[in-house]
Structure 1
Amino acid sequence: MTTLAYTKNGGTYVGRVWLADIAGPSVVTVRDGRLVDITSKTAPTVRDVFELDDPLAHVRQAEGRDLCAVEDVDSADGITLMAPSDLQAIKACGVTFAESMVERVIEERAAGDPDKANELRRKIGAEIGASLSEVVPGSEKAALAKQALIREGLWSQYLEVGIGPYAEVFSKSQPMSAVGTGALVGIHPESRWNNPEPEIVLAVNSKGDIIGVTLGNDVNLRDFEGLSALLLGKAKDNNASCSMGPMIRLFDETYGMDDVRKAELDLAVSGTDGYKLEGHSNMGKISRDPTDLVKQTHGRHHQYPDGFMLFLGTLFAPTQDRDGEGKGFTHHVGDVVTITNAELGALSNTVELSTKCPEWTFGTGALMRNLAGRGLL
C-alpha cells in the first residue's frame, strides 16, 4: 500500500523528497497521480511556500519537473520521502485529551517505573478520568475540579496544563531534524518504558495562519518524563524521535479545520516477536480547540519568522501488557509503527535505538549551501 492517499481523496498536497541526483531536498506536490518537483527561486523551501500571499495557488500552478507516479514513490530509485517541513520550528502540545491526561498523572506518581503504573491505574485512573472528562480547560468548573482534587491529594502538574488556562506547548524537535515516512524512528537506549503517539500536526506560517495538516509520531519516553518533568527534553527530543508525513494536505475547498476537528487516527504496532497492538485517537475528544492551541503558541508574546509545525496531542496511551502481566506496553527494536488517516495517508516507521539511527547531519546550513549551489538563492 502506498503511503499517500491522493488518488482516491483528491486534495492539494505539498511535501519534500530527497533527490539523489542533486544530493538534496526538493519541494514536491501531486498532480494527476504524479509526484512533481516544484522547487523554484520563488519558493525554494516549504517555509517559503507558506509565506506566499497565496500558497494554495502557487502549489497548484507552479511549473515543475515530473518525478514518478504516486503509486511508485515508495520504491522509486533515487527518490526518498522526507518530513514535509524544513525551516519551521517543531512544537508540540501535551495533555490535550482527558484519557491521556490520566496516564501522565500515573507516570508522575509511578516516578517513571512501569511496574508501579498498573496498580496506580486501578486506584486513581477511573476516579480522575470520570471527574475531568467533561471539564473545559480554564473554565469555572475546571477551577472547582482543581480545588476538589487538591483536597483529595490527587492534583498534578499535568492536570494544571490539562484543565488549567494555559496549554502545555514544548519544543518537540529542531527544524530540519524530523524524519519522514519509511525512515527509522529512535528510542533513547537507556529508556525502558516508551511508546508512539499518533497525532495530527498543523502547518502554521509566520503570521499564525494555519496552512494545512499532516500526520505525526511524537515518540515519547514515559520513564524519563515520569521521573521528572524537567527531563521533558530528554523524553521528547532525541535523534530520529520525531516523525511527520507523508505530506502536508493544504486547506482548500476539499479539506479544512472542521475536518481536523473530527479526524480519526488509527495506529498499528507490529513487532518482530509477533506482538500486535492497535490504537485509535479521535480529535473529536480533544479538550482544547486546535485554533486555541495555535494562539497559545504564536502571538505578540512569541513570534516564529519561519512558521512552525504544531503537534496537537493524542488520545492514545497504550496500557496493553507486552513483556509480562502488569508491565504495560513498551517498544522493542524492530517494531513497525503505522499511523493512518483516510484523508492524509499513512505514516510508517520502524523503531531503532537513537544511537543506531542515521545521524542528523543535514541542517539549515547544509540546506542553504545546497540551494545556493543549485542557483535557487
Structure 2
Amino acid sequence: MTRRQRNGVIVIDAQPRSTAEDHLRAVVSHDVDGAIIVDHSGAVRFLNSAAERLLNRHGAELHGQIFGFPLVVGERAEVEVLRPDGEFAVAEMRVLSIVWEGQDAFLITLRDVTFERRAEAALREAEAFSIAILNSLASEIVVLDKQGKIVAVNEAWLQFGRENGITDLASISVGADYFTACAAAGPGTGGPEALQGLKAVLSGELAEFTYEYPCPGPQGMRWFALRAVPLRGARQGLVVAHNDITDQRRAAQIAAEAEMLREQVRQMERELISVEAISRPDEMVRSLTAPLRQRAPDLFSYGLERYGALLEEALYSRVHRTPAPSRSLRELGEWFGSIWAAPRDLIEVHLQAMRDRSQHNTPKKLQAYFEEGRLLLLELMGHLASYYRSMAAGELSFRDSE
C-alpha cells in the first residue's frame, strides 16, 4: 500500500485491498477518538472501537447505514448523538477528504466531549441557581474577588442604581472596581472607612465587617447597613450586603426625640403637677388621673387633629417664612387645660403626630417635622402651664376672700 496526494486529496492505494484496510485499521483502531469512514454517498464503511463506544452500537449494525450528519470538510462542529438507551452523547466532529479503496471518501473523527459539556452545563446551572438565590434577596448584594472587582451582583443592587439615577449600570456591575469606588468617595462619605473594613475581612484580620452609612438620593437621605463576609470556596473574595435601614433609623430617631422631649419637659411636668393639684377640686383630681387617650379618646383625637394642623402650618411658615401660629397655639394650650390635660397627654399627642407623618414622608421632610414639632410642643407646654397658673391664682384668691 502507498500514499500519495492528488489535487490536494490524500490517496490511499488499495492494492492489495486487504493490506490497505489492515493498515488503516491499525492507524485508527487505537485512537482514543472515534473514527468513521463514509463513502461519497454518506454510507458507513468503517468505524473503530472508540466510535462504537461513543455511539453505543456495534460496527456491524452501522456498516452500510447513512451517517446522517452534514459533512463539511475542514470544519469543526459539535453534534449530539442519540444512543439506543435514549441518552445523548456530545462529540466534536471533524471531517477530512480521503480516497479509500480507490473511491472518494470522508474520514470523520469524533472526540467525545460529553463529560465536559455536562460539567459546563452543571456549572451554568449552579451559577444560574446562585444568581436566582441572590435575586430573591431584598438586600443589595455585591460579590467581589480578592482585588475588589465585582464578579456578581443581584437585581436589587441594579435596581438601587436605577432608582438613584445611575444610567451606566456597567459602572456598578460585573467588572467594575468596587475598592476604587470606595477610595474615590472621599472623606466624610464613609467610603474610606468601608474600604479599610473590607480589606481587613479579605486579609483575615476580621471575621466580618459591618458599617452604617448615609446615602443621599432623589428620595432624600437614606441609611444603609453594610455587612461583608469572606467568600467561601476555592476563590478568595467578599460577599457584601447592603440593607436599607432607613425605617429603623427613623424609628430610632423618633424614640430619641421622644426621650429628649421627656427630658426637657420633666421639670415642667413636676411644676404642672403641683399647679394641677391646687387648681382641681379633690374629686376631679381623682377622676382625671387616667391618660387623656384612655378617659376621653374623642377629645384626644380632636386635640391631635388641631395639633397636626398647627404642625403643618408651622412647617409652611418655615418654608415660606411667614409668621408662626402663636395665637392658635395658645388657644390650643388653653383648650387642653380646660379638659384637664396633663403634660404627658401633650407628649403623647406630639408623638402620635410624628408617627403619623413618618410613614409617607421623606427623611428630609420628617426631620423638618421633628425640628418644628419640638418647638411647637415646648411652646404648647408653656401655654398649658400658664393656664394652670392662672387657675391656681384665681382659686387661691377665691379662698382668701372667703
TM-score tier, shorter chain, comes to under 0.3
> Comparing both structures, which one devotes a greater share of its residues to helix?
2
**Between Structure 1 and Structure 2, whose CA radius of gyration is higher?**
2
- What TM-score results when the alignment is normalised by the length of structure 1? 0.23
Could you tell me the TM-score, scaled by structure 2's length? 0.22
Of Structure 1 and Structure 2, the greater strand share is in 1
